[in-house]
Structure 1
Amino acid sequence: MTRVLVARLDSVGDVLLSGPAVRAIAAGADEVWMLCGPTGAPAAELLPGVDRVLTWAAPWIVSPAPPFTPESAEELAGLIAECRPDSAVILTSFHQSPLPLAAMLRLAGVSRIAGASVDHAGSLLDVRLTPGEDFPEDQPEALRALAIAGAAGFPAPPDDRLAVRDLPDVSDLVPDGPYVVVHPGASVPAREWPAGHHRRLTEELSERGRTVLVTGTPAEAELTARVAGSRGIDLGGRTDLHGLAGILAGADAAVVGNTGPAHLAAAVGTPIVSLFSPVVPAVRWAPWGVPTIVLGDQEAACRGSRARVCPVPGHPCLSQVDPATVADACERLISETEGAQR
């Protein structure tokens, strides 16, 4: 039996974007175990092809960074010993190094390790991709992951869209008729459209005859209540990630920033109005594989900064996007999708 350990140590969206690569690996292995960080592990549970999920907080990935101690290293070593992989595929973004994890995997006896690294890897990687014509830095994250898996010997699946393995029954949360999802929260403040803009969007869509569901985590309950107001349906804190997938799957469209739920919407095939802060490049992290309209100034001064808090007063890259413009984008996506289905 061939068991492959796939590592993607960061957030929900990053794990979901690795889904096509995971399916490629699963097609050529008997078992796929996935090693994820604490925030990304729930997304890995949804991915087709994953047999088991292991969770570990990597000090070079997680923010705020936990200390790297002998105890944390022993915890990781124990997980690797439990998995006993025949090989490992380390999936990273351009700004992350696979080498710390590769060193730990090598010490644990993993005989074949693949990853992408701009740094000389010595004996830590058996398969090493480096930036170049065949492996450009500016490419969608889903394709980057597929390239790493392909170099490891697992060719891309016929369908490279994102996917989740099943959808829950959310009929007790959603209306009988059509609806639009507005998800106002984001993983960091630099990626948030202002709450007041979200509220005006809810009002605007309602005036156009749209039912609006406002989603968010329990920690975002105050935000979702404000955004929903008296015109939307507030679902803040009422679902986990799996339940959110079910709600997004039934939506005519979703309005969301460049954060994990955008990629969850893509994984269930829902058209997306992406309020995209350019602190990371849209060419890499925009929703993948579904009809998408990207709004936000992609040439703003914050572009490429990877800032967690907007470094520009007034957050102009997103605050200047008018709610009516977002509502128009929703209507356009819904109309185009309905036209394509006829």
Structure 2
Amino acid sequence: MSSRVLCVRLDATGDVLLAGPAIRAVAASGATVDVLAGPRGGTAARLLPGVEDVLVWQCPWVGLNPSPADPGDVAALVATLRDRRYDAALVFTSFHQSPLPTALLLRLAGVGWVGGISEDYPGALLDLRHRLTDDRPESERALSLALVAGYRLPAGDDGRLAVRRPLPDVRSLTGAPPYVVLHPGTSAPARAWPPDRFAAVARLLHDAGHRVVVTGAPAETALTGMVAADVAVDLGGRTDLAQLAAVLSGAEVVVVGNTGPAHLAAAVGTPVVSLFAPTVPAARWAPYGVPRVLLGDQHAPCRDSRVTTCSVPGHPCLSSVTADEVVRAVAAMSRLVEKVV
């Protein structure tokens, strides 16, 4: 009888996708793998290969604006986890987070074995206290926890990000490939490239003979409409996450900030021109496992600050990047794709 393992990643879409290789390693052991995710990561968890079921919980210690801790809500989660009788759990976190609050709930739920990466003394909360001191990519960080817990990727799995296949047919939305995707929205204003620059790139790419597709969430339709104007296909608010993955999969190149769709592009193997604000380290959070060009001043005053709203006048880390630079980067990536094909 196979074991039941809970993999926990309570953040947003990109965070969950980055844990994907580690989760595949757990699934490769023959275990039944469920994921406990936050509301912004649950849909991504359902796209991951190897996942049996997804539980969604709003965690009060994760996210930009978490809800206050609710004793009843916590008790309900503990009861749900207890009913599912997990044999083990791995708590995946970012380098600046602690697994210990989650581990406490898992202990209360009767989970017999819990592993996490922790600099803090865990007492009886962790059976495996994994410690890392280097600046490795977040996906490799998560995979290292799975490895020391005894879970390994199967032969032929290269450890890159991945999603379930097949993806939906989105040609009725995009038209036939090739095309370039621009994704102007971000989850934090400090990571956003100016919208007028995205609009300029759309026009320059159109004038250079590229088909351009602009993507965005339902709350970003004004932004995508402005960027697309009369030169690009505007898919703002018109795709769910699986459809967005399919749109990105059909692209030659994706131009995007440090936000979830950058990691979704990596998960479908599409090259990325990354407009990367240095609020978090690019070594950890840049698109993983695909060809990429990183644009933005990585030594700007906001470096490693994790701010969500820029406090530096003029937003210099990204406003210093011109539309022409992005177009040149797209051209370089497009030539690379042609050589690979």
TM-score range, shorter chain: over 0.9
Counting only pairs closer than 5 Å after superposition, residues 147-296 of structure 1 correspond to structure 2 as: 147-157=144-154, 158-166=157-165, 167-296=167-296
Q: Which residue of 2 aligns with 1:57?
A: 58
Q: Which residue of 2 aligns with 1:20?
A: 21
Equivalent pairs: percent with the same residue? Answer: 53
Note if contact 1:193-1:318 (Cα within 8 Å) is conserved in structure 2. Answer: yes
Q: Which residue of 2 aligns with 1:124?
A: 125
Decide whether aligned partners of structure 1 residues 26 and 177 sit closer, same or farther in structure 2, where only a CA change above 3 A counts: closer
C-alpha deviation, 1:201, in angstroms: 0.5
Note if contact 1:33-1:83 (Cα within 8 Å) is conserved in structure 2. Answer: no
The residue identity in structure 1 corresponding to 2:127 is D
CA–CA distance in 2 between the matches of 1:333 and 1:63? 33
Note if contact 1:3-1:29 (Cα within 8 Å) is conserved in structure 2. Answer: no
TM-score (norm 2): 0.97
CA–CA distance in 2 between the matches of 1:74 and 1:128? 25
SS at match of 2:186: coil
CA–CA distance in 2 between the matches of 1:264 and 1:130? 28
Q: Which residue of 2 aligns with 1:142?
A: 139
C-alpha deviation, 1:65, in angstroms: 1.6
CA–CA distance in 2 between the matches of 1:240 and 1:161? 23
Moved over 4 A (4+): none
C-alpha deviation, 1:76, in angstroms: 1.4
SS at match of 1:143: helix
Q: Which runs of 5+ in 2 are unaligned?
A: none
The residue identity in structure 2 corresponding to 1:98 is P
Note if contact 2:28-2:153 (Cα within 8 Å) is conserved in structure 1. Answer: no
The residue identity in structure 2 corresponding to 1:3 is R
Q: Which runs of 5+ in 1 are unaligned?
A: none
C-alpha deviation, 1:159, in angstroms: 1.5
Cα RMSD after superposing both structures:
0.9
Counting only pairs closer than 5 Å after superposition, residues 27-46 of structure 1 correspond to structure 2 as: 27-46=28-47
Note if contact 2:163-2:267 (Cα within 8 Å) is conserved in structure 1. Answer: yes
Q: Which residue of 2 aligns with 1:5?
A: 6
The residue identity in structure 2 corresponding to 1:71 is G
Note if contact 2:177-2:250 (Cα within 8 Å) is conserved in structure 1. Answer: no
CA–CA distance in 1 between the matches of 2:184 and 2:340? 28
Describe the superposition over 1:65-90 as per-residue Cα deviations: whole angstroms up to 9, x where unpaired. Answer: 21112112112113312432100000
Matched, 1:68 2:69: yes
Tell which deviates more after alignment, 155-164 or 96-105.
155-164
C-alpha deviation, 1:272, in angstroms: 0.4
The residue identity in structure 1 corresponding to 2:164 is R
C-alpha deviation, 1:178, in angstroms: 1.3
Describe the superposition over 1:115-162 as per-residue Cα deviations: whole angstroms up to 9, x where unpaired. Answer: 000100011000011234xxx2x1100100000111111024431010
Tell which deviates more after alignment, 63-72 or 257-266.
63-72
C-alpha deviation, 1:108, in angstroms: 1.1
Matched, 1:300 2:297: no
C-alpha deviation, 1:30, in angstroms: 2.7
C-alpha deviation, 1:177, in angstroms: 4.1
CA–CA distance in 1 between the matches of 2:299 and 2:88? 41
Pairs aligned (count) = 337
